[in-house]
């Protein structure tokens, strides 16, 4: 008997998750695993080792981006597909930076989401057609280095502490607990760091933090 392909579906909206599961289980070659938040999704990725993880970007406990960063840092062999309700270019670029294989808007039909899964299973990339303009602009932009180590002198002591913990792959929640401060304060520090160093998005911040961690 052929081994089934494991797919993790993580979304905190049960109606969306159940609707997708009903369609996907009709394919006898697929085994569907469900998660209702980011922390549970990461745990299942580590234990069940699915071939694909479909992640809602905005989930409780850990966002889709935070899960993806952990997966990448740990070197787990899995293809990631992002689902989102937001047609946002900045978010799209973050997803591309982190290396997702599929990016689908929830406003699209279930059939398109299924097409995305099938395409990624074949080793290809899939983006919702309505996002093609984002991809064209992205490809036309020059890539600028965001790793100017001299920028560290612009940061406060508190911001450097945050940056060091970001380099250790800690989530905003974990950083808040480590430093005994609020998540809002952590988010403000992260935003200020990105502004001072001209970093665009979570992945750029993580990359910079890891490259300069030995300088702090």
Q: By the 8 A CB rule, do 198 and 146 touch?
A: yes
CATH of domain 5-140: 3.40.50.2300
Q: Which residues of the chain have pLDDT under 70?
A: 1-2, 136, 139-150, 215-216
Whole-number Å distance between alpha carbons of 216 and 204: 18
Q: What are phi and psi of 181, to 5 degrees?
A: -130, 170
> Do the domains spanning 5-140 and 149-215 agree at the CATH topology level?
no
pLDDT above 70 as % of the chain:
92
pLDDT for the residue 190: 92
Task: List the domain boundaries for the chain.
Answer: 5-140, 149-215
Q: By the 8 A CB rule, do 43 and 71 touch?
A: no
Q: By the 8 A CB rule, do 61 and 173 touch?
A: yes
pLDDT for the residue 216: 67
**88, exposed or middle or buried, with CB in 10 Å at 0-12, 13-18, 19+?**
middle
**212, exposed or middle or buried, with CB in 10 Å at 0-12, 13-18, 19+?**
buried
CATH of domain 149-215: 1.10.10.10
Whole-number Å distance between alpha carbons of 61 and 76: 20
pLDDT tens by residue, 104-149: 988 877 788 888 988 998 888 898 888 877 776 776 553 444 444 5
């Amino acid at each position: 008997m052929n081994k089934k392909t494991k797919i993790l579906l993580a979304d905190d909206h049960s109606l969306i998750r159940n609707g997708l599961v009903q369609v996907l289980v009709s394919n006898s070659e697929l085994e569907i695993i469900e998660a209702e938040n980011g922390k549970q999704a990461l745990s299942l990725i580590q234990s069940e080792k699915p071939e694909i993880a479909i992640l809602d970007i905005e989930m409780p406990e850990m966002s889709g981006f935070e899960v993806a960063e952990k997966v990448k840092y740990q070197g787990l062999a899995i293809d990631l597909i992002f689902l989102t309700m937001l047609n946002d270019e900045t978010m799209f670029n973050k997803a591309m930076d982190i290396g997702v294989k599929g990016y689908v808007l929830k406003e699209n039909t279930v059939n398109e989401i299924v097409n995305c899964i099938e395409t990624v299973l074949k080793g290809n990339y899939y983006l919702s057609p309505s996002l093609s303009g984002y991809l064209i602009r992205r490809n036309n932009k020059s890539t600028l280095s965001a790793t100017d180590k001299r920028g560290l002198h612009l940061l406060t002591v508190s911001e450097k502490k945050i940056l060091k913990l970001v380099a250790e792959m800690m989530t905003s929640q974990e950083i808040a607990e480590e430093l005994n401060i609020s998540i809002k304060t952590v988010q403000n520090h992260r935003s200020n760091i990105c502004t001072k160093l001209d970093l665009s998005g979570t992945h750029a911040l993580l990359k910079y933090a890891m490259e300069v961690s030995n300088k702090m």
